A and B are shown apart, each in its own frame.
Chain A
Amino acid sequence: MKRKVLSAVFKYSQLVILIVILIILSLTSKEFLTWDNISNVVMQQMPFMLIISMGMTLAILTKGIDLSIASNLALSSCVAAYFIKDGKVFLGILAAVVIGALVGAVNGVLITKARLEPFIATYTMDMVVRGLAYLFMSGTLFYGFSAGFCSIATGSVGPISNLLIISLLLFAVLFFALRKTTYGRSVYAIGCNINATRLSGINTGGVVFSIYVINGLLAAVTGLLYIARLNAAESTIGSDFTMQMMAATLIGGTSFSGGKGGIERTLLGVLIMVFIANGMNLNGVSSLLQDAVFGVFIVISLVIDKFGSKYSANL
């Protein structure tokens, strides 16, 4: 019995870490465990990070990486805002989706057809797309969107925010696709061994291409949600997101060597990160130490993971 419990604990170590964090934070700050605070974190802050981190996870599952999600988010949202500020909401949303998918497609082509390393392909695309965003905006910002558009991000259905609904819907769709369809299986297989997968008849090029297009779409959606939430669009948005997406995936336990992990793990990773950030603000942790705190948490999750696998291996 004890062994069963312990092995389960170590298998879902991220969940344990999350619970531990929640307990610690509720002890150190009396405002933490309130409905207001928890709902604020889960319903207002988590959704943004979740959607794009899922994209990063998809790329990492295929033993790749996507460093261009943040700038894709910026460009698609800025172009969308150009139309939305004049009231053409539908056109704006369409523009965002098209651009997001287009950038993703370029990534896909560079990686599958030109055989570039995902790192360098998405790194350079990140520069190109960010540059395009800068050029498009030329230092200005668009603001003042219609209340109808903003309510996509600020509104809620009952007690649940639209943001949470949208992000969980996307999560459900992707989760189903990854875990229950052959498409999902091939994603994992590609991450394990792309050559073997290709030789067994799966169109690896097509699957990888689709992953990056999906990332682009996820970036566009998040971009739209951001400009609706902030009621403003600027070219600099998201410049710190790439690191956060990587951290969420890492903490969640998806391996960067591909083929292991999943977006359900990333969900835990995102939750851990937003709660840590929330806790640091609540407890007034000095701005200087915040990077270090994240680093320490990553190390802790590593250690627990390591001991966990060692322990369950010895059972």
Chain B
Amino acid sequence: MNKVKTAFSKLPGILYGLIVIGLIFSVVAQGFFTVSNLLDLAKSSGLLILVSMGMSLCILSGYIDMSVGALMSLSGVVTALCLKAGTGLLVAVLAGIVTGLAVGSINGALIAYEKFDFWVVTYAMMGICQGVALKLSNGNTIAGFKTDFRFIGDGKILGIYFIIWATALLCLVMTLLCNKTKFGYNIYSIGGSYQCASLAGVNVRKNLFFVFVLSGLLASLSGIMLAAKSNSASPIGGQGYEFDAIAAVLIGGTSFEGGKGKITGTIIGAIMMRMIRNGLNLVGFSPYYQTFLMGLIIVAIILIDVVNQHRKKIQATRRVYK
């Protein structure tokens, strides 16, 4: 019994919040607890989850990547243009991925090696990526793809969307990366203290570089899936994702200080944000109410988490001083 108890206490508190909210919506929102809705929800969460995981790595190391939203749009546009130009599916997707890797590398090089301020670099990259996306697409949405590309967005394998499979796989990979590999440990130590990690022999710059490359990669994957899902690549499709991703990471229990938090929390945080939006829509709330309620619910969740952390701290201190 104790073993079960400790296992449960290791789960991120946010998971309980997710379950509670899910249960509430199942009761009050007609159509929520249907297979089709849950699948759709999982599909749209997938896009946010990918970007949030990349953002999670950044925040864990003590940095932020503001360029992910614009990079999503750019990767989608690049892939779409390749498809329209007649290249095969593989080439087009690779082109999109390469875009993500390239931008991520530039971010990483400037921030990790050249030690530029990460806010400024990623903010500038956001503007540049957005501008390039607009210019390449001439401000238009590029639309109308063939079924093989659309499969990425809408196709189902064994009744479950391809996006869900892909996201689940990436979640697994990222979780293992964070918790079980040296790279993961390094990130936590860099986030804890840049200097200490460096003095302890961690090649901080190299690890940091890869953090940004990964962030770029995940953003580009998300952007390609977004284009496939909407059968169109909009040069502004990813707008706002950077803020949502940061929110998902913070809701998931990661702190801005760095070095604290789990990537599983981020995944749940991202799902929760999409779930709240989904549920509110199904209940029939107008967008006026939705913005307001989203804000309230997120604040409530975070406050409860803070209270819990505080309580845990006090309990821990009490245990020491018993």
Contacts and interface: CB of A to CB of B under 8 A. Distances in A.
A127 interface: yes
Interface string B280-322: 0000000111111111101100110010001000000000000
A123 B299 CA distance: 9
Contacts of A130: 291-292, 295
A298 B134 CA distance: 19
Contacts of B128: 291-292, 295-296, 299
A163 to B, nearest CB: 27
A70 to B, nearest CB: 12
Contacts of A131: 288-295
Most chain B CB within 10 A, of A286, A287, A302, is at A302
Contacts of B303: 114, 116
Contact of A302 (B120, B287, B296): B120
Contacts of A306: 114, 116
B247 A134 contact: no
Given A135-B289, A289-B135, A128 B119 contact: no
A192 B294 CA distance: 33
B129 to A, nearest CB: 8
B134 A289 contact: yes
Interface string B11-26: 0000000000000000
A294 B127 contact: yes
A135 B292 contact: yes
A110 interface: yes
Interface stretch (B144-152, B218-226, B248-256): B248-256
A66 interface: no
Contact of B127 (A125, A128, A291): A291
Nearest to A293: B131
Nearest to A235: B288
B227 interface: no
A119 B256 contact: yes
A247 interface: yes
Interface in A251-300: 255-257, 286-296, 298-299
Contact of B124 (A127, A255, A287, A302): A302
Contact of B299 (A124, A298, A299): A124
Contacts of B310: 115
A125 B300 CA distance: 11
B117 A256 contact: yes
B130 interface: yes
Nearest to A63: B256
A298 B295 contact: no
B256 A127 contact: no
A298 B288 contact: no
Interface in A28-71: 67
B253 to A, nearest CB: 11
Contact of B131 (A119, A128, A289): A289
State the majority secondary structure of interface residues on B: helix
A302 B298 contact: no
B88 interface: no
B11 to A, nearest CB: 21
A120 interface: yes
Contacts of B125: 295
A246 interface: yes
Given A295-B124, A295-B127, A120 B251 contact: yes
Interface string B224-247: 000000000000000000010011
Given A119-B256, A120-B250, A134 B127 contact: no
B119 A256 contact: yes
Contacts of A250: 119-120, 123
Given A128-B295, A250-B120, A298-B123, A134 B287 contact: yes
Given A120-B302, A255-B117, A291 B130 contact: yes
A134 B285 CA distance: 13
B42 interface: no
Most chain B CB within 10 A, of A127, A130, A246, A296, is at A127
A18 interface: no
Contacts of A292: 127-128, 130-132, 134-135
Interface in A97-137: 110, 114-117, 119-121, 123-132, 134-135
A138 interface: yes
A124 B291 contact: no
A251 B136 CA distance: 27
Contacts of A255: 117
Nearest to B67: A295
A287 B139 contact: yes
A292 B135 CA distance: 9
A119 B250 contact: yes
B292 A120 contact: no
A126 B131 contact: no
B214 interface: no
A12 to B, nearest CB: 18
Nearest to A137: B288
22 contacts: A110-B299, A117-B256, A119-B250, A120-B298, A120-B302, A124-B299, A127-B291, A127-B298, A130-B295, A131-B289, A131-B291, A134-B288, A247-B123, A255-B117, A287-B139, A288-B138, A288-B139, A292-B131, A295-B125, A295-B131, A296-B127, A298-B124
Given A110-B299, A288-B135, 5 more contacts: A130-B291, A250-B123, A295-B123, A298-B120, A306-B116
Closest 5 CB pairs of A and B: A292-B131, A131-B292, A295-B127, A127-B295, A128-B295
